Amino acid sequence: MQPWLCFEWDTVSADYSVPAPASLAIRPANREDEEVVGKVLRTAFSMDSSWGDISRRLDESMERFVEEAFDKSRETPSCVVAQHGSRIIGVSVMDADPDSLNHLSSGPMILHEYRNRGLGSALLAATLNFLRAEGLAKVRGVTRANSTPARFIYTKFGSHQVSCALDPLQVVAR
């Protein structure tokens, strides 16, 4: 099994301004988006070979993360979506609890046909801004070593790696 890497961002003084392409809207999710968010996550992860060996665990965890992010006790869902026209093509499901060991529950995930256009970076910027607005001074994200997020996305915006023995898919529901 690949080891997990933990990244941390200091949101207090950072600037997370990455413009999204003109044809794309990045916005907080609505309650009505919950089902689509789950479908986009499952599709995006299934098309990424770095997650194939743990797909069953990943599906179960992502379902739980989406349920928690869209919990009715929250005023707004802890999720940001990237939308192209009327189609949601990317999502980032979060855990806004300041004490969480992994605030980026899913991390920014983009459907395969929309990748390599800077959308993951724009979605990460929106995610970090969302969590800063929720009052988080530090944001932590966990991903697999050698995954696309570990190599190309989580390294942005002044992140630094921190020690971590967490397997985010084994964390029990609250």
What is the longest distance spanned by two Cα atoms in the chain?
40
Q: How confident is the model at residue 59 (pLDDT cuts 50, 70, 90)?
A: low
Range of the domain at 150: 4-162
Place of tokens 């999720």: 79
CATH number for the domain that contains residue 141: 3.40.630.30
Query: 101 in a domain, yes or no?
Result: yes
Is the model's pLDDT at 81 over the cut of 60? Answer: yes
Query: 174 in a domain, yes or no?
Result: no
Name the phi and psi angles at 9, rounded to 5: -120, 140
Amino acid (one-letter) located at 13: S
pLDDT in tens, 93-110: 999 999 888 899 888 988
Residue 44: the pLDDT is 79
pTM: 0.83
